[in-house]
Structure 1
Amino acid sequence: MRVAMFGYQTWGHKTLEALIKSSHDVVLVVTHPPSDQPYESIWSDSVEELARDNGIPVYLAQRPDSALIERVRDAGPDIMVANNWRTWLPRELFDLPPHGTLNLHDSLLPKFTGFSPVIWAMISGANEVGLTAHRMDDELDTGDIVSQRSIPIGDQDTGTELVRATIDLIPEVLVESLDLIERGAASWTAQNLDDRTFFHKRSARDSIIDWRWSAAELDRFVRALSDPYPNAVTYYRGQRIRVIKAAVSRYRYGGTPGRVFIAEDDGMVIVAGADAHRGQDRGLVIQRVRLDDGTELPALDFFGRGGGYLTDRP
Structure 2
Amino acid sequence: MKVVFLCASEYGFECLRCVCDILNCNVVGVITMPKQYEITYDNGRKSRIADNPILDELFEFCELGKKELFISKKVNSLETINKVKKWSPDLIIVSGWYQIIKKDILDLPSKGVIGLHASMLPQYRGGAPLVWQMINGEEYAGISLFYMDEGCDTGDIIAQKQVKICDGDTIKELYERVGKTGIDLLRENIPLIESGTANRFKQDDGYEGSVFPPRTEEDGLIDWRKSSKDIMNFVRAQTRPYPGAYTIIGNKKITIWDCSIEDI
2:197 is the alignment partner of 1:185: yes
The 10-residue stretch of structure 1 (37-46 or 235-244) with the greater mean CA deviation from structure 2: 37-46
C-alpha separation in 2, matches of 1:42 and 1:248: 37
| Structure 2 runs not aligned, ≥5 long | 39-47
> What amino acid maps onto 1:145 in structure 2?
I
AA aligned opposite 1:118: L
2:259 counterpart of 1:246 = yes
Q: Structure 1 counterpart of 2:88, which letter? A: G
Matched, 1:146 2:158: yes
**Correspondence for 2:13:** 13
User: Can you list the C-alpha shifts for 1:129-173, whole angstroms capped at 9, x where unaligned?
Assistant: 222110111101000000112210000100111112222223211
Return closer, same or farther for 1:43/1:130 CA change in 2, 3 Å cut-off.
farther
Counterpart Cα distance in 1 of 2:124 and 2:168: 21
Cα separation, 1, equivalents of 2:225 and 2:147 = 40
How far did 1:104 drift? 1.2
More displaced 10-residue stretch of structure 1: 138-147 or 5-14: 5-14
2:144, 2:182 within 8 Å by CA — same for their partners in 1? Answer: no
| Structure 1 residue 22 corresponds to structure 2 residue 11 | no
Where do 1:282-293 residues align within 5 Å?
none
Indicate whether 1:83 and 2:95 are aligned.
yes
Stretches of structure 1 lacking an aligned partner (at least 5 in a row): 252-314
TM-score with structure 2 setting the length: 0.89
Query: What SS does the corresponding residue of 1:220 show, helix, strand or coil?
Result: helix
The Cα shift of 1:92 comes to: 1.2
| Cα drift, residue 124 of structure 1 | 1.0
TM superposition outliers: structure 1 runs of 4+ over 2 Å: 35-53
Looking at structure 2, the residues matched to 87 and 42 of structure 1 have their Cα atoms a distance apart, in angstroms, of 13
- 1:211 aligns to what? 224
1:301 match? none
Query: Structure 1 residues 165, 97: CA separation in 2 closer, same or farther (over 3 Å shift)?
Result: same
How high is the sequence identity, in percent, across the aligned residues? Answer: 28
Q: Which residue of 2 aligns with 1:162?
A: 174
1:54 aligned onto 2:65: yes
CA distance in 1, matches of 2:50, 2:162: 25
Q: Is the 8 A contact 2:220 2:244 kept in 1?
A: yes
Q: Please state whether the residue corresponding to 1:250 is helix, strand or coil.
A: coil
| 1:221 aligned residue | 234
Number of positions where the alignment pairs a residue of Structure 1 with one of Structure 2: 251
Larger Rg: 1
TM-score, normalised by the number of residues in structure 1: 0.75
> In the alignment, which residue of structure 1 is the partner of 2:43?
none
Q: CA RMSD in A?
A: 2.0
